[in-house]
Amino acid sequence: MRVCGTCGLPSVIGRSMRWSSGGCIFARDVQNTRLVYIKTDEVNNILRGVSERIGMPLGRIAARAEVPLGRRLGKAYYAEYLSLMPGSRITRPAFLMKGYYERIFKVFSILGFGRLSLESYRPRRRIVVSMLKPYQPDLLCGLCRGFFEAAEGVAFGYEAAEDGSGALAAAFTAEEGVGAEGGDERFRYEEREHLPGNVEHRICGECGVPVRISQTFYWDEREGLIGNRKHHMREVVMPVEGLNALFRELKEELGEEVERMAADIQRSFKRDAYLQPDIRERHNYLALLRQQTVKGLGNFTLIEKRGERLRVEVENPFNAPLLAGRVAGYYEALEGVESRVEWEAPDPRRLSIEVAPA
């Protein structure tokens, strides 16, 4: 793995991500596709928590919501790969395709997705992948399905099961007579506009990645893991639009209550994760939230504590209920009381959050 000579980060990070002044991280060359640094426990906890509360396993639907995002990213990566290949695009020898997927899996490992390897490959028929420590099995299978559909030009179904050695074996099988562009309208990719903002990160002069990233995280690229230097919890650089499509659909089917649920689940997760000895001493919402901008959550434009009320405004929020829940969780950890959180998102680019004691 090539690393930056100055900050030591894997070089691919600077090549594949762009930090915007609006508090977002975008996948380079795939317009407006957002990424966030998020704890893997947090992602798993949200999906598990919502599943339990609505009494329905969310795994399959979460995977489906991820497919259009995977196709979109997959299309861009595949086009780039083809442009580097000599010779004809039409023949696509199997070894070149294997090389392509191995390359993609390397990028996945640097995003903290886990260690993926190609177990068997039959072009446009069947692809078996071994996934060691997937950051979230359903989301990862859905994303892979999208990547395979983009490159193979056919639609895939999949089955995934533990293979006995602790890895997940995921078998993707072509669905007869279904084109890769078919499938779920419900989870179509939704373009979002973003506000410009004026966030400035201190940037590594060599690779262009904010210095705070190398100060905050470490990489185990062989295992496909990202750890946080402070608390050593595992994190992942996750494309968020799949999760957002899932919540959009759940809200449509089950009503607004789903968002309240997600915020609640997130609130207690964040409270428990932040109940550490040093947190109350610092007691500084501004520092706490501003330092998170580099994770791509959005641009915190107002952080105001008046009496017991905390008001936070965010431009380009990555996800409204998850951010509202996060802020409420911090509040509970810092204040040592239970809270009530309200939020409003007049349009998807603006979010205002208010937290007060319950």
Among 1, 6, 257, 304, binds Zn ion (CB under 5 A): 6
Q: Which is nearer to Zn ion, 6 or 117 (CB)?
A: 6
CB proximity list for 284: less than 8 A, separation 6 or greater: none
Amino acid at 165: S
CB of 1 to Zn ion, least distance (A): 14
Q: Which is nearer to Zn ion, 6 or 291 (CB)?
A: 6
What string marks each residue from 175 to 204 as x (binds Zn ion by CB under 5 A) or -? -----------------------------x
Beta bridge partners of 357: 339
CB of 289 to Zn ion, least distance (A): 25
CB of 204 to Zn ion, least distance (A): 3
Summary count for the chain: helices (H), strands (E): 11, 14
Q: Which is nearer to Zn ion, 3 or 275 (CB)?
A: 3
Q: Which is nearer to Zn ion, 7 or 353 (CB)?
A: 7
∠ CA(253), CA(257), CA(259), 5° rounding?
90
Q: Which is nearer to Zn ion, 145 or 295 (CB)?
A: 295
Mapped onto helix, strand or coil, the DSSP state of residue 146 is helix
**Closest of 301, 288, 283, 281 to residue 350, by C-alpha:** 301
Number of residues binding to Zn ion, judged by CB under 5 A? 6
Our finding on whether 27 is near Zn ion (CB under 5 A) is no
Our finding on whether 17 is near Zn ion (CB under 5 A) is no
Handedness of CA 119, 164, 65, 155 (dihedral sign): positive
| Phi (first) and psi of residue 354, to 5 degrees | -130, 130
Q: Which is nearer to Zn ion, 200 or 206 (CB)?
A: 206
CB of 205 to Zn ion, least distance (A): 8
Amino acid at 159: E
Q: Which is nearer to Zn ion, 206 or 252 (CB)?
A: 206
SS (H, E, C) 281-309: HHCCHHHHHHCCHHHCCCEEEEEEEECCE
CB of 207 to Zn ion, least distance (A): 3
CB proximity list for 297: less than 8 A, separation 6 or greater: 23, 36, 314, 317, 318, 323, 326
CB of 34 to Zn ion, least distance (A): 22
Handedness of CA 255, 260, 266, 269 (dihedral sign): negative
Among 7, 58, 69, 328, binds Zn ion (CB under 5 A): 7
CB of 108 to Zn ion, least distance (A): 21
What string marks each residue from 199 to 228 as x (binds Zn ion by CB under 5 A) or -? -----x-xx---------------------
CB of 68 to Zn ion, least distance (A): 32
Query: How far apart (Å, rounded) are the C-alpha atoms in residues 352 and 165?
Result: 47
Q: Which is nearer to Zn ion, 4 or 353 (CB)?
A: 4
If phi > 0 it is left, if psi is from -120 to 50 it is alpha, else beta; for residue 139 that is alpha
Measured from the Cβ of residue 290, the count of other Cβ atoms closer than 10 Å reads 15
* Binding residues vs Zn ion (CB under 5 A): 4, 6-7, 204, 206-207
